Amino acid sequence: MLRNIIIYIILLASSFAFCVLYYEWFSWFLFLVVALVPVVSLVLSLPFMIYASANGLYAECDKSLEQFHPLSISIKSASGRGIICPFLKIKFKTYNAFIERRKSIIFKYGGRIKRPVKLSCHSLSSNCGCLKISAGRGKIYDFCGIFFLPVRLKFRSEVIIKPIPEKPSVMPDIGSAVILGYKPKPGGGFSDFYELRQYREGDSLKNVHWKLSSKYDDLIVKEPSEAICKRLIVKIEMTDEPEENDFILARLAYVCNEFIAAGTEFYAYESSKGIIAPIRSKEDVDLFFYSVYSAVEQQRKALPDNAVIYSILPEREEVSEL
């Protein structure tokens, strides 16, 4: 490292100046010791440096985490065997496309690597987004930190930083769904609503309305139906401010969790990129977040008809209808 080299040069120059000003055997002995320190360090470190460089390193990290939680990157030997690193230095480059922020972090470690060694960083998860992390090579130094050998480390990964759910000030009434009509229930089964029609070949005799059939002298079947309700759309409007976007996404995460727990089917819609997706599970929510974080604008899709729109804005929430 440059700092260690500068420090060593200062120590070497100081010891030489001491020899010139204080011409005794002790001053020359001190100068010789200082001059030989890098050589001795290299001789002692070189076997470990060569072995570690030949084996290479392997890195892995979290695939997703909540905002403000530390991001962990684990380093281990690529061969799975233990290696000794006098001093290891790796530079990781990160890029959050959602907020257009680049940052570099330095991993430093000295000692034996048998189990994965973890690097935790809090600053990378301060804002939501898709964090891309890469590292090309590392460096293994001698004990003095002057000489080094490169070590292979091809590492690329993506980390989804999700918001911490936060309850909005206004929540839509999940139980007040507007019924537009009824349709046959796929697969039949139990239902509180039935449609009466004539018997068709293949209908189960269990669904025959015998009293009505005897009255009209024809087989009448009770066909289970399900209600056609207005679709619910949760709409968010992104801004140019990362903190405001984090606040919007936090309220969206809370609303999605509540709707999923209640078994409510709904759509999530991001207005600036025109991203719309049906939400049925938490996996759907994660995929929607990933689409929002992506820097690529997708093909816009039309909003479903007969929908209630719950909009989450930077300063408020509101409910409207199409």
Q: Which helix (H) or strand (E) holds 54?
A: helix 25-55
Q: Count CB atoms within 10 A of the CB of residue 30.
A: 17
- What percentage of the chain exceeds 90 in pLDDT? 31
What are the domain boundaries of the chain? 1-162, 180-228, 231-321
- What's the pTM? 0.72
**CB contact set of 152 (below 8 Å; sequence gap of 6+):** 53, 56, 57, 78, 137
Q: What is the pLDDT of residue 206?
A: 67
Quick one: pLDDT band at residue 308, thresholds 50, 70, 90? Answer: confident
Contacts of 199 (CB under 8 A, 6+ apart): 208, 218, 219, 220, 221
Q: Which residue has the higher pLDDT, 154 or 306?
A: 154
pLDDT-based confidence at residue 228 (cuts at 50, 70, 90): low
CATH topology of domain 1-162: Immunoglobulin-like (2.60.40)
